[in-house]
């Protein structure tokens, strides 16, 4: 099973600043990596697939990068609605699909 590790667990950033979230895979997942945003009491929302492709309707301030075992989600200028929990997920080697434990992005 591929283990996904996200860092940091909590990230405090001011509105308008850049946020950088990391995700590491225990073995290569090539570019088969997705990022989700989950707000309190809501279902996860797909942001990024293929490590760097924005899903339909996702603003350009969200960008993903990386391949193999190291991935990054960058939010270029944080808006109030971006404060949420973010999860990465690999879909290269399955079953099982595996998620990271999440990064909580909070207002500084």
Partner 1 sequence: EVQLVESGGVVVQPGGSLRLSCAASGFTFDAYTMHWVRQAPGKGLEWVSLIRWDGGSTNYADSVKGRFTISRDNSKNSLYLQMSSLRTEDTALYYCAKDMYPDSSGYYGPGDYWGLGTLVTVSS
Q: Which residues bind partner 1 (CB under 8 A)?
A: 32, 34, 36, 38, 42-46, 49, 55-56, 87, 89, 91, 94-102
**CB of 71: closest distance to partner 1 in angstroms?**
13
Nearer to partner 1, 69 or 90 (CB): 90
* Rounded CA separation 73/21 (Å): 5
**Smallest separation (angstroms) from partner 1 to the CB of 36:** 8
DSSP string, 3-35: -EEEE-SEEEE-TTS-EEEEEEESS--TT-EEE
């Amino acid at each position: 099973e591929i283990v996904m590790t996200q860092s940091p667990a909590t990230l405090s950033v001011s509105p308008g600043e850049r946020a950088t979230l990391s995700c590491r895979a225990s073995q290569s997942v090539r570019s088969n990596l997705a990022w989700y945003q989950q707000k309190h009491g809501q279902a996860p929302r797909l942001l990024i697939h293929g490590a760097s492709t924005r899903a339909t309707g996702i603003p350009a301030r969200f960008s993903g990068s990386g391949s193999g075992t190291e991935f990054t989600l960058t939010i270029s200028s944080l808006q109030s609605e971006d404060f949420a929990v973010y999860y990465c997920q690999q879909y290269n080697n399955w079953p099982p699909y595996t998620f990271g434990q999440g990064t909580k992005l909070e207002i500084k």
